[in-house]
Every structure is written in C-alpha cells, then in structure tokens.
C-alpha cells in the first residue's frame, strides 16, 4: 500500500492528532509512516496542514502537488486552499461548516456557497459531512478530528477497517476521553444516517 493523505484545517481543530492516528494505524499493520505537521505560530487560529505518507520506504515529509490520494478538509476554505495537492483521481472528505476568520468578519467576507460548489465538482469523489451537527450529536464541539476519521472509515477512504482505526484511536487518546471519542467515531461512521434528510453526501 502507498497512500498520501493531506489534512487541512484551522489551528486548534485537532488535525495533528488525526494525522498521527492514521499513521499509527498504518504502522500497526506493518506499513512505514511519515507525517509532517504545522507547529508554531500558525497554530494560533491560522491555516494548518498535516501530511501523512504511508508505505514509502523513505520519503520527503511534504506531499508533491497533485499527488495526494485523499484530502480531509476540516473546514471548506482550507480544503480548497490545498486542492492543488489532490491527485486527478483523488478523493475529498470535507466538513461543510466554515470557521470565519476575523479578517472575514472585519469585512472581507467568506464565499461559502461558491467554495462548497467548487469543491463538489473538484474531484471524482467528494463527500461532505456536517461536522458541526455530528459533533453536537457526539456531545462535544472538540471532537471533529475523530468524527472525520469515523466518516473516512465509513466511506472506505482510508485503507483500514473501522476496527483497525478504532483500536489505534482508543490506544492513543487519554483514558478520560475514551468514551467521548468512541461516541465521536461512531457518529462519524454513521454520518450518512444523521444527514439523510439534507442529502449532503454526494
């Protein structure tokens, strides 16, 4: 297996944990894993990306443009910002809820509908989830990272089974958050059930 996956989001959304969990799951199956994450000033609410490269014996930390098999967008504008990294036949998994930066509230605006429409046609496979509603269902606004992993497992976007991902996740989150994260993963995995009425997933 060779797979390059890029996670794009906003500092504070938990992309680092998600990328580590993907890498750890690959390692538990005997694959090599490399990741690279934004750490530093950008973590303060700026644009961040995490890159996961699986199954390369040795590789550079950053994914080349046009080489990502999967982009997981924790936020629509951040998914679009990194679209150039997606392979022609790559897949997108995007949480549709925007995080409006201060610059946008101060008057710059945020073209949400255009961004979502562009993403919808940008890849042969684009799955939207309502991250906000799913997090609410899971009982916390801070578990989007585990919700998206559940959704990615359900959509078959990662080369791992639900149980493989779940086992890694439970081994790497603090004990007091195990139940919450189990719930978040389950809600993400069943995201189509929760979103059946608005037809969000394409």
Partner 1 sequence: MAKQLLMGNEAIALGAIRAGVDVVSGYPGTPSTEVLETIAKHRPEHTYIEWSINEKAGMEVAAGAAYAGARALVTMKQVGLNVASDPLMSLAYIGVKGALVVLVADDPGPISSQTEQDTRHFAQFAHLPVFDPTSPEEAYELIGAAFRYSEQYHTPVIFRPTTQICHACASIEVVDEINGHAIEGFVKDMKWVIFPKLSYQNHLRILQQERVLAEDFAAFPYNRLGGSRSAVRGIISNGVSTAYVNEVLAMTGDSVRTLSIATPHPFPVKLALAFLEGLTDVLAVEELDPVLEEELLKLCGRYHLPVNIHGKLTDEMNLAGANHFENVRAAIDTFCGRSATDALPAAPAGLPPLPVRPPVLCAGCPHRGSFYSVKAAMQRAKLPAVFTGDIGCYTLGNAKPLDMVDTCLCMGADITMAQGLQRAESGRKHIAFIGDSTFFHTGIPGIINAVYNGTDITVMILDNSTTAMTGHQPHPGTGHTMMGGVTERVHIDKVLAGCNVKCIKHANPLRLEESIAAVTEAVAYPGVSVVIFEAPCIALFKAEPPLRVAAEKCIGCRRCINEIGCPAISLTTEGKAVIDENLCYGCDLCSQLCPVQAIGGVQK
Rama region for 66: left / alpha / beta (φ>0; ψ in -120 to 50; rest): left
**Which position among 1, 2, 114, 196 is part of the footprint of partner 1 (CB under 8 A)?**
114
Q: Does 154 bind partner 1 (CB under 8 A)?
A: no
Q: Does 124 bind partner 1 (CB under 8 A)?
A: no
Please name every residue paired with 53 in a beta bridge, in sequence order, or none if there are none: 4, 34
Q: Cα(147)–Cα(145) distance, rounded to whole angstroms?
A: 6
Q: Does 153 bind partner 1 (CB under 8 A)?
A: no
**Which position among 34, 90, 96, 151 is part of the footprint of partner 1 (CB under 8 A)?**
34
**Which position among 3, 17, 18, 39 is part of the footprint of partner 1 (CB under 8 A)?**
39
At residue 11, φ and ψ (nearest 5 deg) are: -50, 125
Q: Does 176 bind partner 1 (CB under 8 A)?
A: no
Centre a 10 Å sphere on the Cβ of residue 173 and count the other Cβ atoms it contains: 18
Centre a 10 Å sphere on the Cβ of residue 89 and count the other Cβ atoms it contains: 9
Q: Does 139 bind partner 1 (CB under 8 A)?
A: no
CA-based R_g, the chain, Å: 16
How many residues sit in the footprint of partner 1 (CB under 8 A)? 58
Q: Does 15 bind partner 1 (CB under 8 A)?
A: no
User: Helix or strand or coil: residue 50?
Assistant: strand
Q: Does 156 bind partner 1 (CB under 8 A)?
A: no
What are the residues binding partner 1 (CB under 8 A)? Answer: 10-12, 20, 23-24, 27, 32-47, 58-66, 77-78, 80-81, 83-84, 88, 99-106, 108-111, 114-115, 117-118, 122, 141-142
């Amino acid at each position: 297996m060779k797979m390059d996956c890029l996670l794009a989001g906003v500092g504070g959304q938990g992309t680092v944990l998600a990328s580590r969990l993907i890498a750890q799951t690959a390692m538990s199956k005997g694959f090599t894993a490399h990741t690279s994450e934004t750490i530093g000033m950008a973590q303060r609410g700026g644009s961040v990306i995490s890159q996961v490269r699986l199954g390369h014996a040795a590789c550079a930390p950053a994914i080349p443009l046009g080489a990502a098999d999967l982009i997981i967008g924790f936020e629509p504008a951040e998914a679009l910002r990194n679209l150039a990294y997606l392979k022609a036949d790559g897949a997108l998994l995007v949480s549709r809820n925007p995080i409006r930066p201060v610059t946008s509230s101060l008057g710059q605006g945020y073209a949400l509908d255009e961004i979502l429409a562009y993403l919808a046609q940008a890849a042969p496979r684009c799955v939207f989830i309502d991250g906000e509603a799913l997090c609410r269902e899971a009982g916390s606004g801070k578990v989007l990272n585990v919700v998206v992993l559940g959704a990615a497992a359900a959509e078959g976007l990662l080369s791992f089974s639900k149980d493989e991902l779940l086992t890694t996740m439970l081994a790497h989150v603090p004990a007091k958050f195990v139940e919450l994260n189990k719930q978040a993963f389950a809600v993400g995995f069943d995201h189509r059930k929760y979103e059946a009425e608005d037809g969000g997933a394409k």
